[in-house]
Amino acid sequence: MEQIYTIPINEAFEKGMEAGVCDCPMCKLFNKLEKKEVEMALGPSMMEPSTRLITNEKGFCPDHFKMLVEQSNSLSLALVLESHLMTLKDKMDGNLLTTVFGGKARHHLKTAKGVSTTCFICDRLEPHYQRMIENTVLLYAYDPQFKVKLKAQKYFCLPHYQQLLEYAKNKLDKNKYSDFFKDMSAVENAYFDKIIKDVSWYCKKFDYRYDSEPWYDSKDAVERAIRFLSSGVAPEKK
């Protein structure tokens, strides 16, 4: 296990145990990593030739473009976009052979398609987040105190639940994986029951017969259900 990863993992799981907190701890870890990478993309390192070569080539996915705009660092973003656009234009223009042998249309199609399939930030995030998954499973397997923290979580979003189970199945022995699945599924099943109940009550509150009934925990049930299903994509209600 690597301390650089186990410290933030423990912090995220400890936060998830607090009263009033209802978040997937893995989403918290991912969001923290993502924020750091987005800030880095428009920070001093974006002027380094080695970094600029990669951002020129890969660009960014729509989600990370949106996050870059939200950084309110328009000059840095404009500089990155300028060289990225120039690189794309040069790729589209191709060379003399492309023009002579009639492959320009095919070349344009290939270049345009590549724009939507590569992202500098996604590529940097992936290995770091994979290490978070690995170290979370190993902490459970070898740290009894962390096992207690995991069992005390409110829920894991389904995408991260799947990733944790898949890694554990491939890396843990049969007995440790059985324990891991039992504890993870206990957390998940309890939240399934909870979120279904809350969403159902939210729906009932639109029926006049339930108008005088309290909302209980259902006011933000739709947002929580979406976060549970899709790795935190739905914002919390303000």
pLDDT per residue as tens digits for the range 110-145: 777 767 678 999 999 999 999 999 999 999 999 999
Report the pLDDT value the prediction gives residue 59, as an integer from 0 to 100.
93
Residues 159, 198: Cα–Cα separation, whole Å: 21
pLDDT score of 234:
40
> Tokens standing for 93?
């223009």
CA distance between the termini of the chain: 38
Structure tokens at 139: 């902490």
- What are the C-alpha distances in Å from 75 to residues 55, 68, 81, 120? 16, 11, 10, 19
Cβ atoms of residues 87 and 56 within 8 Å? yes
In the chain, what are the domain boundaries? 1-152, 155-238
Walk along the chain (238 residues) and give the pLDDT tens digit of each residue.
677 899 999 999 999 999 888 899 999 999 999 999 999 999 988 888 899 999 999 999 999 999 999 998 999 999 999 999 998 888 777 665 555 555 667 767 777 776 767 899 999 999 999 999 999 999 999 999 999 999 999 999 999 999 999 999 999 999 999 999 999 999 999 999 999 999 999 999 999 999 999 999 999 999 999 999 997 544 444 3
For 88, counting Cβ atoms within 10 Å of its Cβ (0-12 exposed, 13-18 middle, 19+ buried), the class is middle
Q: What angle do CA 164, 200, 16 make, to 5 degrees?
A: 35
C-alpha pair distances (Å), 3 with each of 8, 9, 12, 25, 158: 9, 10, 14, 17, 26
Q: Left, alpha or beta for 102 (phi > 0: left; psi -120 to 50: alpha)?
A: left
pLDDT at res. 238: 37
Tokens of 158: 């389904």
Query: In which region does residue 72 sit, left (phi positive, over 0), alpha (psi from -120 to 50) or beta (all else)?
Result: left
For the four alpha carbons of 100, 103, 105 and 109, in that order, the dihedral sign comes to negative
